[in-house]
Amino acid sequence: MEFKIDNELKSLIPALTKDEYSRLESSILKEGCRDKLIVWGDILVDGHNRYEICTKHNIEFDIILKEFDTIEQVKTWMLINQLGRRNLTPEKFKYFIGKLYNESKKQGERTDLTSGQNVQKSKQIAEEYKINEKTVRRAAKFAEAIDNIAEECGVEIKDDILNREIDLSQKDTLRLAQDENKKEIVDILKEDEEKDYSDAKLELYWQKEPDIVKTPKLSIRNSEIIYADPPWRYDFSVSETREIENQYPTMTVEQIKNIDIPTNKDSILFIWATAPKLRECLEVIEAWGFEYKTHAIWDKEIIGMGYWFRGQHELLIVATKGKASPPLPELRISSIIKEKRTEHSKKPNLFYELIEKWYPGKKYIELFAREKREGWESWGLEVNNE
């Protein structure tokens, strides 16, 4: 099957990074094209990268035919669809919010930002994505400036900005772009430095899961070291599941995968997994944009529950993104670490100390934290309820 590629529609979707494209290609070569492509008549609407890879390697794919009345409806659907994807950078979130608002203005009879029609639309978008109207209007300016730079300097520049592969603060960056466009982007990103637009996505996500206690927003960005102890949900007996739920609210693997992790382009992830959750943990690592490297074993010195073996250990998995380096040879220790378990799910402090020793002076963040640690950003239900 062959489909037309509409360049205007394709431009709404930022290109994948080289690593992301490579992982997608490897996955399709190994498992086939699992997700269906979306088409409107003979025009491809969603799945451009999958279509390119399948065509290149002569791999079969399935499609879904969608009905739209106008090209404007197609654009709106595409933008909303992009906003629902996981692992959006804050820049991408701003861009898609801004494009959604700008497209809605084009479809209306009036284009004045202060007109009643457009104010109402900005309210609708703000309510839908749990942000304020000012953010919507600022995002509109951001998207317009990004598109102007793409037109002046090439679409690759736009993709680099949205994928966080370009430093806008550097003097020679975007030297070909008009000063007002670059200034608009830099000013917006600078003012929003302490905010993370993925917060809105996370807040929406938790509201869609009323059976889970609402988790605080993840507001830090560009962390170099991420330390995570996800609250895995187990599908075992009712008694065991309730025992875990009584300690803290748990999450499904899909819920954990959908969290937008704000990392630096060169980052290291240390993530805990129990033996039954190893496969799910590897899925989370891939969904967060990391690549598995190795793992250590924590021998808790106390035997727990289990259907096959009674668990006495947990796995600390190490994964990387970009050009992150391993610790210096003289600092490397045994992969089996013995430390007696204390209270439920609490990990020994020696793992914090090990990470700090390996990577001094880095930006650390702990996800699903139980307590705050000096020098670390902490995100979790318990630390935000103190």
pLDDT confidence of residue 190: 55
Residues of the chain with CATH 3.40.50.150: 198-385
Q: Stretch 312-316: mean pLDDT, rounded? A: 94
Query: Hey, which of 115-129, 227-241, 259-273, 326-340 has the most confident mean pLDDT?
Result: 326-340
Identity of the residue numbered 77: W
Residue 274 near residue 284, CB atoms below 8 Å: no
Asked: is 198-385 a CATH 3.40.30.10 domain? The reply is: no
Q: Stretch 173-185: mean pLDDT, rounded? A: 57
| Percent of the chain with pLDDT strictly greater than 90 | 30
Q: Residue 62 and residue 75: Cα distance in Å, rounded?
A: 22
Q: Residue 98 and residue 141: Cα distance in Å, rounded?
A: 7
**CB proximity list for 152: less than 8 A, separation 6 or greater:** 176, 177, 178, 181
pLDDT tens-digit readout, 257-299: 888 777 888 899 999 999 989 999 999 999 999 999 999 999 9
Higher pLDDT, 234 or 200: 234
Q: Residue 174 and residue 167: Cα distance in Å, rounded?
A: 9
pLDDT confidence of residue 191: 56
pTM assigned to the model: 0.49
Q: From 218, 187, 147, select the one nearest 369 (Cα to Cα).
A: 218
